[in-house]
Amino acid sequence: MGRARAVGLIGLEGTVIEVEAQLAAGLPAFRIVGLPDAALGEARERVRAALHSCGTHLPDRRITVNLSPASLPKTGTGFDLAIAVAVVATGAMPGREEARRTVHLGELGLDGRVHPVRGVLPMVACAVAAGHPNVVVSRGNALEAALVPGARVEAVDHLGDVLALYGIRLDRAPDLEPAARTVPGDEPAGSPDMADVVGQGEARFALEVAAAGGHHLLMLGPPGAGKTMLACRLPSILPDLDDDDAVAVTSIHSIAGTFMPSHGLIRRPPFEAPHHTASPASIIGGGNGVPRPGAVSKSHCGTLFLDEAPEFPPAVLQTLRQPLESGQIVLHRARAAARYPARFQLVMAANPCPCGSDRDCRCSAGLRRRYIGRLSGPLIDRVDMRVTVPRLTRARAVLGGLGEPSDVVAARVAAARRLQVERYRYQPWSLNSAAPGRYLRGPDAVIDTDVRRLLERSVEKGTLTMRGLDRVLRIAWTLADLAGADRPDLALVGQALCLRTGGDDAPAI
């Protein structure tokens, strides 16, 4: 028997897998059991060729490799290295016990090279948490694996380097080109600045409120009014992620294959802006076997921006309803169910009608209603704020002038968020947008009588749903935090109600 260790991922949840190899009498064969997928089942050919390139040949016996626990589905090519080490350990290998205690993560090439794989950060974190800090990875994954505290990482280029760790010296050195030296990449480009926005004071203020409280936002207006420009500047006023969120976001992007290890942990809130031709699987996640994260998960702790939102297929828009409420997405497949965090901030931009013109529009009232009606009522009810972004005229440009730079706005946002963290220090949430309704309007809530009456009248008239009432209170608390007030008064609640409904002149949805 030969043994080694690897890690299997389902979503962000990892499990340490014991790789067992056994030689038995019988016709020569190589079989992998333990619910491998197609890519993992082909590992036998990669392992065979890689060992041959090292001058080591498989014995002419029946080889069975078991991936334990066998009831857990395994996917991907990251098990190749562990399988090769377990097979070699069935023979005379001095470091057999050390190999058994070490986690091996890497894909093998036919020439024996060890290639990097996706998801190394959550894999190594799982191994360290399970008490297995010794990890062998491809040199291309070394920077990412080293981000996990407590991990003892060994970076290798070739299978022969791994075998040398366990006392096996090759008779002939592999004929390989020099490995590419890993160099830090360029620093990520800075976010566009809010100072670029001319005029649009109401929309800029709504964006600041959205950033301060983590609220969802819908912007309605004609083309060229600045909706996309404003949305793309939202990341520039958001604070950096804390350690826990940075690890979670980095792990998601590692699984998705969009992480640059040379930049370290992802500290800036991510910004995802899928095209309106995106499929439901690309938005919420999917794929064969164990599904991979989609745009809602890759924007976790950041912003998901849907430009030209009514142009998205209805099936795509409806998939957003559940993660907007729960902050996570559970993708069920026949083989497994993967759970990914999806606590994102939704920002949508839309034209008021198909032609988009606010001057020479010839769209009928019915056509305008049908167009904006593509954003369903249940989805819009989950969006906290709605703001109209009018066409920029010369008068508005002169009166509005250039906006404040992002660092000034970001300072106010950071101060408001510090107040929220302090207020919710004994709660499982830290933002106003995550505060549940029972907390905001319960018997212990600090709400004036006049405020209660205003909200009750809005619910009775049908202006607000009960979900909308809770969201108005969340916005009001954010406005109070930005203003430095102890609690929202009647004026702030009225302002929050206006931000919620979009004003009297906003198109009906």
Question: For the chain, what percent of residues have pLDDT higher than 70?
Answer: 92
| Residue of 364 and 401 predicted with greater confidence | 364
In whole angstroms, give the CA distance from residue 373 to residue 363: 14
- In this prediction, residues 282-303 reach a mean pLDDT of 89
Is there a single domain that holds both residue 410 and residue 336? Answer: yes
Is there a single domain that holds both residue 211 and residue 338? Answer: yes
Is there a single domain that holds both residue 214 and residue 126? Answer: no
Q: Is residue 408 part of a domain?
A: yes
pLDDT tens for 220-262 read: 998 888 899 999 999 999 999 998 999 999 999 999 988 888 7
Rounded to a whole number of angstroms, the distance between the first and last alpha carbons of the chain is 67
**Is the model's pLDDT at 395 over the cut of 60?**
no
Domains: count for the chain: 2
Most confident among 55-64, 243-252, 284-293 (mean pLDDT): 243-252
Is there a single domain that holds both residue 157 and residue 204? Answer: no
Structure confidence at residue 190 as a pLDDT band (50, 70, 90): low
**Is the model's pLDDT at 45 over the cut of 50?**
yes
Is there a single domain that holds both residue 32 and residue 81? Answer: yes
Structure confidence at residue 91 as a pLDDT band (50, 70, 90): confident
- Please, are residues 347 and 210 in contact by the beta-carbon 8 Å criterion? yes
Least confident of 96-110, 269-283, 335-349, 385-399: 385-399
Question: For the chain, what percent of residues have pLDDT higher than 90?
Answer: 60
pLDDT of residue 400: 58
pLDDT of residue 191: 66
Most confident among 104-118, 256-270, 433-447 (mean pLDDT): 104-118
pLDDT of residue 347: 97
**Is the model's pLDDT at 372 over the cut of 90?**
no
Structure confidence at residue 508 as a pLDDT band (50, 70, 90): very low
Does residue 343 sit in helix, strand or coil?
A: coil
pTM reported for the whole predicted model: 0.86
Q: How far is CA 337 from CA 50, 218, 333, in A?
A: 33, 32, 6
- Please, are residues 321 and 313 in contact by the beta-carbon 8 Å criterion? no
Considering the chain, what is the average pLDDT of its residues? 88
pLDDT of residue 504: 45
Q: Whats the size of the chain, residue-wise?
A: 509
- In this prediction, residues 412-432 reach a mean pLDDT of 93
Most confident among 114-123, 189-198, 456-465 (mean pLDDT): 114-123
- In this prediction, residues 190-219 reach a mean pLDDT of 89
CA atoms within 13 A on the CB side of 148: 25
Least confident of 101-110, 174-183, 294-303: 174-183
Least confident of 52-56, 70-74, 184-188, 274-278: 184-188
**Is the model's pLDDT at 8 over the cut of 90?**
yes
Q: Domain ends where: 406, 428, 450?
A: 428
Structure confidence at residue 267 as a pLDDT band (50, 70, 90): very high
Q: Domain ends where: 395, 428, 461?
A: 428
pLDDT tens for 454-464 read: 888 888 888 88
Is there a single domain that holds both residue 386 and residue 335? Answer: yes
Is there a single domain that holds both residue 347 and residue 418? Answer: yes
pLDDT of residue 178: 43
Q: Tell me the CATH number at 213.
A: 3.40.50.300
pLDDT of residue 353: 87
Structure confidence at residue 171 as a pLDDT band (50, 70, 90): low
Cis peptide before 69 (omega within 30 of 0): yes
Is there a single domain that holds both residue 131 and residue 200? Answer: no
**Is the model's pLDDT at 124 over the cut of 70?**
yes
In whole angstroms, give the CA distance from residue 111 to residue 144: 24
**Is the model's pLDDT at 174 over the cut of 80?**
no
In whole angstroms, give the CA distance from residue 500 to residue 340: 29
pLDDT of residue 172: 55
Structure confidence at residue 177 as a pLDDT band (50, 70, 90): low
- Please, are residues 388 and 502 in contact by the beta-carbon 8 Å criterion? yes
pLDDT of residue 506: 42
Residue recorded with tokens 């950060």: 121
Q: Is residue 211 part of a domain?
A: yes
Q: Tell me the CATH number at 131.
A: 3.30.230.10
Is there a single domain that holds both residue 208 and residue 118? Answer: no
pLDDT of residue 365: 84
In whole angstroms, give the CA distance from residue 248 to residue 252: 6
- In this prediction, residues 359-385 reach a mean pLDDT of 88
In whole angstroms, give the CA distance from residue 13 to residue 71: 15
| Residue of 148 and 184 predicted with greater confidence | 148
Q: Is residue 480 part of a domain?
A: no
Structure confidence at residue 444 as a pLDDT band (50, 70, 90): low
| Residue of 508 and 90 predicted with greater confidence | 90
| Residue of 360 and 466 predicted with greater confidence | 466
Does residue 144 sit in helix, strand or coil?
A: helix
Is there a single domain that holds both residue 152 and residue 234? Answer: no
Is there a single domain that holds both residue 263 and residue 318? Answer: yes
Q: Is residue 483 part of a domain?
A: no
pLDDT of residue 179: 44
Is there a single domain that holds both residue 111 and residue 224? Answer: no
Q: Which domain holds residue 391?
A: 195-428
